[in-house]
Amino acid sequence: METSSLRSQPMGRSGYWLILPGSWWIRLLLWKRSLQRPRLLAQKVKAMYCPEAGKPLIKFTHCKKSIYSFSVPRHCPLCQQEVGSGKLEEAPVSISNPFTDGHQEKCSFLLRPTQGTFLREYDGKSDLHVGITNTNGVVYNYNQRGVRRDQAGWEQSLSVPLVQPNMFGLRDQWNRYLEDFSAMGAWLPHRYDEDHHNCYSYTLSFINCILTTEGKEQLDKNEFTEKYVIPRTRLASKYITLYRAIEKHGFYAVDHPDQGTSPPSEVVCAEGYV
């Protein structure tokens, strides 16, 4: 082959390979990949981290204390000694975040503050708003303007999965069921009543319609709330308290359980399908 020649050969539907003399085509390929790597890495990081979810919480052990913070510091905030130990039981652990991006949840019941977010504005007494997601993460919810289909705004929510992963038939029909239900006259704007015919009425009525379709017993409001909502709000309340204490002081420390006092309950996501 002449060193000055360039030639191409077919490579299927993706186009043509450009064959350069010697090893130049390899260098070109590696160069192109090096240009793509930062962009791909940024996309992965963006997909993994949702700012609305808040900073991750970490727990580590030092000075016979369980210390909670947003990251593991080089030096202990209590004794100023360097943090680091070969003991497995003292290794840092991540505290599970009970909040999720609702638009990433499929076929789920979502709960969020009507105004603001859980980590910032919620005070335990604020009004809450609820909705149902379709298989594309669109949140169907009911208020004084009727049924809304939100594609944003539920990035920090508590989620209750409504459909088990192996229920393929129900998942295939879910969007049609949700759309048909939302088109009913009961959910027109003028029918809305803040106390008796609201977002909770809408979501629970839809859930019960699905349960009836599947030949299952319906749930009343108290039963659904006690079984699926309250366990998650309790976990959220503990997490919020811990999160805000760390924001205010930089860390939060309690006696290690070996000292006879239990630390705050580790926040883990509640399980269970309706």
Percentage above 90 pLDDT, the chain: 59
Element (H, E) at 69: strand 65-69
- Structure-block tokens of residue 93: 């652990």
* Cα–Cα–Cα angle for 119, 42, 136, rounded to 5 degrees: 65
Closest CA to 186 of 196, 171, 176: 196
Q: Which residues contact 153 (CB under 8 A, 6 or more apart)?
A: 139
What is the per-residue pLDDT across 114-131, written as a single tens digit (0 to 9) for each?
999 999 989 888 899 999
Is the pLDDT at 139 greater than 90, yes or no?
Answer: yes
Q: Looking at residue 102, what DSSP letter applies?
A: G
Between CA 204 and CA 124 the distance in angstroms is: 22
Which pTM was predicted? 0.73
Contact of 103 with 154, CB cutoff 8 Å? yes
**Could you give the residue ranges of the DSSP H alpha helices within the chain?**
24-48, 168-182, 199-213, 221-224, 230-249
Q: Which of 67-76, 235-244, 254-263 has the highest mean pLDDT?
A: 235-244
